[in-house]
Structure 1
Amino acid sequence: MSQYDEGHTVAGWTGFGIATVGVAVMGAGVCAGNALWVWGGLSVVVISVLITWVLHLAGWGKPPGRRPAAEWGMWVKDLTAREGHPGCVGCRLAGRGRLAELPVRVTAESGTGEPVTESAV
């Protein structure tokens, strides 16, 4: 098993299985010339993405990058998912794992704070 082990999770395999069914339905729709099957298969693929995302947020997905060997198993639940994974797009979309607040600089003119951006530093 690799050190990264990404995708070897309940969330990954569930999403893959559902997406495979969706793509098969889409392919059958293309072969049969049936637009309803194509759109139905596409909707199944979209549902698979949403189910994978929900499972990841519930702890059945893993964060990107290296993990200890004890966490490589597929049935090991990720207990850090609640706080969000650094660098994880799915966690960021859910509002988890946000970066620390930007420092605030108080201006003399107005007396109010404004975030310090990269260009102002």
Structure 2
Amino acid sequence: MAGSSHGHTPAAWTGVTIAFIGFCVSGAFMVMAQPVGFWAGMVVVAIGGVVGWVMSAMGLGQPKDAHKDFQDALAESRAAVSAKS
């Protein structure tokens, strides 16, 4: 995954950051035994997913064919390495 830039987009970073903040809020309020705060944090987690999806739809995510392009480039580089051997 690291070689294919999986998740290295503004949409992914923003969505995950918002969801992580919501997760931390929910965890803190769960320890404090405050159900309303816990559910508010869970709403923030859901908002993170929606924001990431909307940003991806706006073109800030990874293109649909990025995985295919990566696989093609990987096959070409492997062929070049084996041709040198």
TM-score exceeds 0.5: yes
Larger Rg: 1
List aligned pairs for 1:4-23, cutoff 5 A.
Answer: 4-23=4-23
Matched, 1:47 2:65: no
Percent identity over paired residues? 33
Instruction: Report the TM-score, using the length of structure 2 for normalisation.
Output: 0.72
Greater relative contact order, per chain length (Cα 8 Å cut-off, separation 6+): 2
Unaligned runs of 5+ in 1: 69-121
Q: Tell me the number of residue pairs that the alignment of Structure 1 and Structure 2 aligns.
A: 67
Deviation for aligned residue 1:65: 1.4
CA distance in 2: counterparts of 1:65 and 1:55, whole angstroms? 19
CA distance in 2: counterparts of 1:8 and 1:44, whole angstroms? 22
CA distance in 2: counterparts of 1:46 and 1:57, whole angstroms? 17
Instruction: Report the TM-score, using the length of structure 1 for normalisation.
Output: 0.52
CA distance in 1: counterparts of 2:19 and 2:69, whole angstroms? 27
Identify, as 1 or 2, the structure richer in strand: 1
